[in-house]
Amino acid sequence: MQWKLDEERVPYPQALAEMDRLVRAIRAGDEPERVWFIEHPPLYTAGSSAKPEDLQDPGRFPTFAAGRGGQWTYHGPGQRVAYVMLDLERAHGTVPARDLRAYVHGLEEWVIRTLDRFNIRGERRPGRVGIWVADRVAGTEAKIAAIGVRVTRWVSWHGMAINLEPDLGHFAGIVPCGIREYGVTSLHALGIAVTMAELDAALAASWAEVFGSALVRG
């Protein structure tokens, strides 16, 4: 499985265009499946279920229609975004063919296993999309990773975003994923001062445990 890392921040429209191209090429058999690690400049994206009133500060950052499922999401520096383009007509490790629910579960498991390498317990919550951790400062829970996917002719795109050290104040311009009762956090906010390179290495190492093949950097 090939993975690509972009060192420069990628504008969101450029990322959408490249994912669209890759999805078509993967379905045609002209490109290998790919996991794309990037960062974006600060922006908000709206999924197919996003409510206009949940964009609370429209002028703060650029906003984009994402074309994925879900609601409002923030992307920005210090956040690792992983766009996953797989041919879901075949099985991948623990994920059977043509099973979207199992694929989303696999993305969640990938994040959970990655966090476990830093002694962080990430958990799923019924009715709440993403991966959640205990926020000991606030005495509640907070989201550390967001997940949103789209599937075109059984090729996946979009994926997940995990907070390493973004400016958490930037999330105040939206209601993240439509959930008002809980906040967001990051590895650094939890006291885990790892680098982006270390997070990438953990993500690459955890991938095969879930999806069954090693990530090879292309």
| pLDDT, tens only, 31-72 | 999 999 999 999 999 999 999 999 999 999 999 999 998 899
End-to-end CA distance of the chain: 9
Q: What is the pLDDT of residues 20-30, one digit of tens each?
A: 999 999 999 99
The domain over range 2-217 is classified in CATH as 3.30.930.10: yes
Marked catalytic residue, from 26, 35, 85, 177: 177
pLDDT of 169: 96
Q: Provide the Cα torsion 161, 162, 164, 165; round to 10°.
A: 50
Residues of the chain under the 50 pLDDT cut = none
**Contact (CB, 8 A) for 78 and 186:** yes
R_g (Cα) of the chain, nearest Å:
16
pLDDT of 22: 97
Q: Examine the residue annotation and report whether 177 is marked as an active-site residue of this protein.
A: yes
Alpha-carbon gap, residue 87 to 30, rounded angstroms: 12
pLDDT of 216: 85
pLDDT of 108: 98
pLDDT of 66: 95
pLDDT of 178: 77
Alpha-carbon gap, residue 35 to 86, rounded angstroms: 8
Single pTM value for the model? 0.95
pLDDT of 218: 77
